[in-house]
Structure formats: C-alpha cells, structure tokens
C-alpha cells in the first residue's frame, strides 16, 4: 500500500554486513570502470596533444576537434564522481539493474550501470507497492567518497522476495537529503526523485507543460532534471537549437548553476528576462506600478502603431535632383508603402522595398522631364537620386530607418509621441512613463525592446547571405566528420558528427550551440524552461514565445507566490490567450522543504490576508520541532542583531537568511555585519523578499512581516519569504503582526 504522500511503504529489516560487502564490491567494480574510462580518455587526449601543432591545416583542426571532445568527455566523467551509483532494481525475471548518474558498460559491453534517464531506469522512480510492475525490490544506496554508507529497500512484492539478507527501510534517503544542512547551492535529486516528480520530468517534449505546485514541491528541481532528461531523450531534436532556462534573478541562477553540470549537461543557456537581449544592460529600477504598466499586452499594439507612425505620407512637394525639379506625389508614396507592407518584412527590411518603388517612380518622372534619357541611363539616374539631399530627406521622413532603443527612448522622452500611439493608456499612465533619454533601461523595458527589435528588424540581407554560405559549408563539415568518425574508430557513442563539426574551424575554435544562442537575440530554442513563471508579464511571455516557435516549453511556478504586479494571478488569465488554450498541466503536491508548522503558518497568513485566493494546496513532508519562533522587540534592528547572533550559533554552520523589507536591507546588512553583495555560500545573507524567490536556507529570520506585506501589492512576497527555511522560521517584529502569524507565536 502506498502512503498518502506517494512514498511507498516499506519494511525495514536489519542491515547486514554481507549486504554491505556485496554492494561495496559492486560499487568498486563500477568505479573501477569509471577510472578505466577516464584513463582511456586522458590517454587519447595526451596522444592528440603530443602530436602538437604539426601537419596540414586540416589535420590540426581535426586534432583540435578531438581534443575538445575528449576534454568535454573527461569533464563529464569527473562530474559523476559523487554518488555515481544510487539505486538497484530487482525484477521478477531475476534481472538486476543498477541505476546511476550515467550509463556504463564493461569492456564486453555488458551493462553495469543504467543512466537514470534511460527508459530502463523509469521503474526506479515510478514503481509503488500498489503498482510494482515487474519490480520486486528497489534498493537505495547511499554512498560517500566511493563507500556505501547506507542501504535501504522498498520491497514492492513481499511474496517475491526470498529470505535473503535484504535491508529494508522507508524514506531514509529522501529524509536524509531533506534534513541535510544547506550549502547555498542547489544540488541534484536524481537519487530520490519521487513518482509525481518523475512523471513530470519524463513527460513528452512537445507542447507546453505547466507545472504548478506550492512552495518547496520541487518545481525548480524537477524543471532542471527535466531539461537534462529532454536533452538525453531527444538530443537529436533539441541539441542544435538548444534549451533556454529562464529564472527570476541572477542570484537565483547562481543558486542553481551546479545542478545541470552535475547531471552531465553544460549546454543549457540560463538567463533572466532582464538579460534576454545581448548588449542591453537593464540596470535601472522603477516603481512596481510602472513595471506593471510596461508589462501589459496592449504594448504590442502601441509599439506597432509607434513604428507605423514613422511611415508617413508627406504632402506633395518639389524635390531637386541636381538642376532637375521632380514632384513628390502622395499617391506614389502610398503605393510604395503598400507594397512594402505587403512584403510582411520588419520595418527596416521592408524599407528596402519602399525605397526601390519610390526610386522607380522618381526615375520615371525624371525620364519624362529630361528629353533623350533612355533605359541605359537608369543606373546613373538612380545614383543622382540617391545623392540628392531632398530625395534622401523625403524618403527618410516617409519611412524612417529605426532602432529599437531609439524608438522606445523617444516614446518615453516625448509625451506627444506617446500620446499619438498610446491612446489605450490614460494620461496619468502616460505621464508616469515619462523619462529622459539616456536613463538606464529597466528589466520591464527589455520585452518592449525585444518586440521592437523583432518588428523593426535589420537590413540583414548581407548577414543572411553569409549565414546561407555558412550553413552549406557546415553541411559538408558534418558529412566529413561523420566519415572521419567511422574511419578513426572514434565513433563510440561519446561524440557525434555534429559535435565534431562544431569543433572544426576554418579559423579558431567554433562556438558551441549555447554560445551562439546567447549572442543572438533572434535565436529560437528547441525547448524553453521557465522557472518562477508566475512573475512574467504578458510582454515577457511574448518575448519567450517568439524564441520558441515550436511551442515546446516547461513552465513552472505557483500563482500564490506572485509578487510582480505584472505577473499572473491565474495561469488561465496569463496563458490561455497566447497559447490559445493549448497546454497541459501537472501538479506537485508535497512540500519537501518547509517544516509542517512553518507551512501552516504561511498558509494561515495567506488565507487571512487574501481569502479570495487560497494558496495552492500542499502537504509538508516533514515535521520539525520548534520550527516557528516569534520574537517581539521595541527596536527592530537591535532585535534582529540579537536574534541573528543567537540563530547563527544554533545553526552550527548552517545557512541563514535575514529577509527584510526592501527599504531596510542596507541598514540591516550593516548592523549584522554582512557585505553589500549577496553571496549565497556565506553563512548569513540579508535579502529583500523579492531576492529570496526560489532560494532556501536552513533558517530564515524574517523582519517586520507587516511591512513586507504593506510594501508589496500582493501577499506573494511575504508568503515566499516565510516558506524559504528548511528548519526554522524566526519572525522578529516591532509592529503588529499580520493576521495568521500571531496565532503560532511561542
């Protein structure tokens, strides 16, 4: 029978020395094989390096290609050192399968270890006592530095297990992982993925999958493992286009940066919305209500109108071309604009069509006016037209060449320009947007700039021609690489022709897919993973959807945690329109992070503050005694300093976050003696609520919750801050507490 949280019931039997010995011997064998493969890879690398920079250019680039590949392979083999093997499955058929961080076979190709992502490993995560499939025993192996330190079994079919020296226990590996002290860096969960999480991780590549779940239900962990799984299971489909991971802040991206490499994947591009456009630094800040304003979907129309406003029909007028007087005719302009628009190309690209048609019309006039001009003179006349100042000015005024940054700066700086195109905003809203040219961009400007860049486009004919040549060149490189792999015996599955071709270079090392994608604003990805997706504005969604025409996305979040005013209050409201209802939803229900008392206090607060929007339901996996402490103080900062000192001692090296109302961050950081920059591996960090999103700590000291509530337009910030600890939440307050928190005071 499965328990309510989906963890299968199991029966512990005493550990035995023989079992340990057996598993240790197996582990030694697998590590032995890992060492062999590393040696083998190192030898090949050394041989290539010994060959040095001699030989033809082609020989050298081949060697470079292989050297990089062996370096990558070595890095991958080194990354799996810790907890290489973590599971074993015994099947009805008598087959025994070990599950680990990568697949390994012995020199005779007999499988030794099954990659956790392979279909054959699925039962390790999915089998339950109620639906065991053909599994009779699932064994969790806990290891440290190549030594077995714990064994626990889930016996899924008690009748089928003989009277052996099996060690049985319950959720030990999971609880050990959850109770362990935090390090300031997220770790992988391959060894203890739970069934409902596994179903999400292995869900198909196509379509948009929304994964919702309350705090600590493993949404981030699942999203990252899913990225690794998809790259493994659909490598041929998504490797060339890459995977984009979008997170809420740079601090958060640093918090999770080790997870994918530890799963053997280094090619995922991670970014925030603010960093989406290469070359744009969105360092500015602004009031939340202005960010909300800029996030509205209506900007799509406003920006279209702003571009269209730069496509004008001038009144009839004279144009001097040398000594020849021509007439600029509104009908000609209208027709040329019509043709340019019909091309459906972005503004700057369509401008080429507009100019061509205008020049043709002017050439016709010229020929009519100047006797004796024939077809042969056309090129010369065009040259004259192009060098006429009158013509240049008129054509620019009719179809202005634009840049995204120039146009948006102009809209913000010139109220009449904005008023012309943004009738959908009120006068008060428009004046709130007013700011001078040269003011730093803010994160909410980035989706607007992106939309503009997309609609304005570049006159990139030359660039596209270059790309076409490169693509055909690359095809021949791939074909050559394939042949070379076949002949050299390097085709052992570690590398493929595309990878080798990536490393071939006419000049210097080629960029990886991730590097190329990162540098290219218009790159489209094979899959996009969005974490804390509830924070994204309608305009930010548009920027992401443009990058993913195939609509293959994993969207994880919790609408109860929304803090941005531009974010989602429901997935339907946010995504039904852009996705036209085409998405599927999965729900995670167990909170692995937050102790039960902390979770219920946070939920009470949410229910009391915003009864109309009850928080997403969750069940906590753990009870921790004295998990909520409330300290009242007369002086907030002094009170905080004393509590931090006390909690620091108690935490015994664990990680502690002091989460404070935004306006107090600097003062508190100084008072508790931590620096300005946030370094998550420090024992103590001071954060504002927004920055704590997605993170977790052993202990959270939460300052003045009523202020946090008052600062934000939504209770999501306070809810997020309260649900960050794995061990204890210590609330310190001078003002009255928000409803729901008081009740839990000790």
Ligand X SMILES: Nc1ncnc2c1ncn2[C@@H]1O[C@H](COP(=O)(O)OP(=O)(O)OP(=O)(O)O)[C@@H](O)[C@H]1O
DSSP character at residue 584 = E
Minimum CB separation of residue 544 from ligand X in Å reads 19
- Tell how many helices (H) and how many strands (E) occur in the chain: 29, 21
Classified as helix, coil or strand, 25 is helix
Helix, coil or strand: residue 311: strand
Which residue blocks in 180-324 are alpha helix, DSSP H?
195-201, 219-233, 235-238, 250-256, 259-262, 288-295, 299-308
- DSSP label of 8: B
Three-state secondary structure call for residue 239: coil
- Taking residue 608's Cβ as centre, other Cβ atoms within 10 Å add up to 15
**Angstrom distance (rounded) from CA 418 to CA 548:** 30
Tell me how far, at minimum, the Cβ of 622 lies from ligand X, in Å.
10
List 328's β-bridge partners, or say none.
Answer: 317
* Least distance to ligand X, CB of residue 160, Å: 26
- 303: which 2 tokens? 């920006």
- Could you tell me the smallest distance in angstroms from the CB atom of residue 174 to ligand X? 5
d(CA 557, CA 573): 14
The residue (of 29 and 187) whose beta carbon lies closer to ligand X is: 187
In sequence order, the β-bridge partners of residue 90 are 96, 137
Closest among 337, 458, 350, 448 to 403, alpha carbons compared: 458
Q: Considering beta carbons, is residue 86 or 98 the nearer one to ligand X?
A: 86
Burial of 276 (0-12, 13-18, 19+ CB in 10 A): buried
214 marked ligand binding residue: yes
* Spatial contact of 720 and 706, defined as CB atoms under 8 Å apart: no
Nearer to ligand X, 174 or 579 (CB): 174
Pick 193 or 280: Cβ nearer ligand X: 193
CB nearer to ligand X: pick between 351 and 622: 622
Q: Which is nearer to ligand X, 350 or 624 (CB)?
A: 624
Helical (H) or strand (E) element with 620:
strand 619-620
Nearer to ligand X, 201 or 452 (CB): 201
Task: Identify whether the C-beta of residue 446 lies closer than 8 Å to the C-beta of residue 273.
Answer: yes
* DSSP-derived secondary structure for 33-50: HHHHHHHHHHHHHHHHHH
Does the annotation list 217 as a binding residue? yes
Question: Is 219 marked as a binding-site residue?
Answer: yes
Q: State in angstroms the smallest separation of the CB of 564 from ligand X.
A: 15
Q: How far is the CB of 263 from ligand X (least distance, A)?
A: 13
Which two three-digit tokens encode residue 226?
């899913």
Q: Which is nearer to ligand X, 209 or 518 (CB)?
A: 209
> Residue 589 Cβ, how far from ligand X at the closest point, in Å?
11
Q: Please compute Rg for the chain using Cα positions.
A: 31
Cα(585)–Cα(575) distance, integer angstroms: 12
Q: 215 among the known binding-site residues?
A: yes
- Nearest distance from residue 306's CB to ligand X, in Å? 37
d(CA 538, CA 519): 24
**Which CB atom, from 61 or from 534, has the smaller least distance to ligand X?**
534
Using CA atoms, how far residue 35 sits from 32, 101, 103, in Å, is 5, 15, 14
Q: How far is CA 235 from the centre of its chain?
A: 18
Residues 33-42: b if buried by 16+ CB within 10 A, e if exposed: bbeebeeebe
Residue with Cβ nearer ligand X (185 or 650): 185
List interacting residues with ligand X (CB under 6 A).
174, 177-178, 189, 192-194, 197, 213, 215-221, 558, 561, 592-593, 694, 696, 723
CB of 404 to ligand X, least distance (A): 33
> In this complex, which beta carbon is closest to ligand X, that of residue 19 or of residue 723?
723
Phi, psi of 555 (to 5 degrees): -120, 110
Q: How far is the CB of 586 from ligand X (least distance, A)?
A: 12
Least separation in angstroms between CB 283 and ligand X: 25
Residue 476's contacts (CB-CB under 8 Å, 6 or more residues apart) are: none
If 0-12 CB within 10 Å is exposed, 13-18 middle and 19+ buried, where does residue 107 land? exposed
* Binding-site annotation, residues: 213-220
* Binding-site annotation, residues for ATP: 213-220
């Amino acid at each position: 029978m499965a328990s309510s949280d989906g963890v299968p019931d199991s029966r512990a039997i005493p550990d035995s020395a023989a079992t340990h010995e057996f598993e240790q011997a197996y582990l030694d064998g697998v590590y032995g094989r890992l060492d062999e493969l590393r040696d083998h890879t190192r030898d090949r690398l050394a041989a290539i390096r010994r060959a040095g920079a001699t030989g033809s250019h082609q020989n050298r680039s081949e060697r470079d290609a292989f050297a990089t590949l062996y370096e990558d392979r070595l890095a991958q083999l080194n990354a799996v050192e810790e907890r290489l093997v973590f599971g074993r499955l015994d099947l009805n058929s008598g087959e025994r399968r070990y599950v680990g961080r990568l697949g390994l076979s012995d020199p005779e190709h007999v499988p030794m270890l099954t990659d956790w992502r392979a279909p054959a490993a699925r039962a390790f995560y999915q089998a339950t006592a109620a639906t065991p499939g053909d599994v009779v025993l699932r064994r969790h192996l806990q290891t440290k530095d190549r030594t077995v330190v714990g064994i626990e079994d889930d016996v899924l079919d008690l009748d089928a297990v003989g009277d052996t020296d099996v060690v049985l226990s319950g959720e030990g590996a999971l609880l050990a992982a959850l109770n362990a002290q935090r390090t300031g860096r997220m770790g992988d969960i391959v060894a203890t993925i739970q069934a409902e999480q596994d179903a999400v991780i292995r869900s198909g590549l196509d379509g948009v999958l929304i994964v919702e779940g309350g705090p600590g239900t493993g949404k981030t962990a699942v999203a990252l493992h899913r990225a690794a799984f998809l790259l493994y299971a659909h490598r041929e489909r998504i490797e060339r286009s890459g995977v984009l991971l979008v997170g809420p802040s740079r601090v958060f991206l640093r918090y999770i940066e080790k997870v994918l490499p530890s799963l053997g994947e280094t090619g995922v591009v991670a970014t925030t919305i603010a960093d989406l456009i290469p070359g744009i630094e969105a360092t500015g800040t602004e009031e939340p209500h202005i960010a909300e304003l800029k996030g509205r979907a209506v900007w799509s129309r406003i920006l279209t109108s702003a571009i269209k406003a730069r496509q004008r029909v001038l009144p009839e007028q004279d144009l001097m071309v040398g000594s020849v007087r021509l007439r600029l005719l509104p009908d000609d302009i209208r027709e040329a604009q019509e043709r340019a628009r019909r091309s459906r190309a972005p503004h700057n690209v369509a401008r080429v069509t507009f100019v061509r048609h205008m020049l043709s019309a002017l050439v016709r006039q010229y020929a009519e006016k100047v006797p004796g001009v024939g077809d042969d003179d056309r090129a010369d006349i065009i040259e004259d037209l192009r060098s006429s100042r009158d013509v240049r000015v008129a054509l620019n005024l009719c179809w202005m060449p634009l840049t995204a940054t120039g146009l948006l700066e102009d809209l913000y700086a010139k109220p009449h320009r904005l008023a012309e195109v943004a009738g959908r905003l009120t006068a008060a809203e428009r004046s709130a947007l007013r700011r001078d040219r040269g003011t730093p961009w803010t994160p909410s400007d980035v989706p607007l700039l992106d939309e503009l860049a997309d609609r304005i486009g570049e006159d990139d004919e030359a660039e596209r021609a270059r790309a076409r040549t490169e693509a055909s060149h690359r095809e021949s490189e791939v074909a050559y690489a394939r042949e070379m792999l076949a002949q050299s015996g390097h085709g052992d599955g570690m590398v493929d022709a595309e990878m080798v071709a990536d490393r071939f270079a006419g000049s210097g090392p080629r960029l990886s897919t991730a590097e190329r994608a990162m540098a290219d604003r218009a790159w489209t990805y094979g899959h996009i993973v969005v974490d804390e997706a509830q924070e994204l504005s309608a305009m930010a969604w548009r920027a992401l959807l443009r990058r993913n025409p195939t609509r293959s996305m994993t969207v994880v979040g919790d609408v109860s945690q929304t803090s941005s005013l531009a974010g989602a209050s429901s997935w339907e409201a946010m995504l039904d329109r852009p996705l036209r209802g085409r998405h599927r939803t999965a729900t995670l229900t167990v909170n692995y992070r937050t102790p039960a008392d902390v979770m219920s206090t946070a939920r009470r607060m949410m229910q009391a503050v915003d009864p109309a929007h009850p928080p997403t339901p969750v069940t906590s996996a753990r009870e921790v005694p004295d998990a909520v402490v409330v300290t009242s103080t007369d002086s907030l900062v002094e009170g905080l300093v004393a509590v931090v000192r006390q909690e620091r001692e108690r935490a015994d090296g664990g990680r502690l976050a002091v989460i404070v109302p935004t306006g107090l961050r600097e003062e508190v950081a100084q008072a508790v003696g931590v620096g300005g920059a946030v370094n998550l591996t420090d024992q103590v960090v001071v954060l504002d609520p927004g920055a704590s999103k997605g993170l977790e700590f052993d202990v959270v000291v939460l300052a003045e919750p009523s202020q946090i509530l008052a600062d934000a337009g939504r209770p999501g910030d306070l809810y997020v801050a309260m649900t960050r600890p794995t061990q204890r939440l210590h609330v310190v307050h001078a003002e009255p507490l928000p409803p729901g928190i008081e009740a839990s005071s000790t």
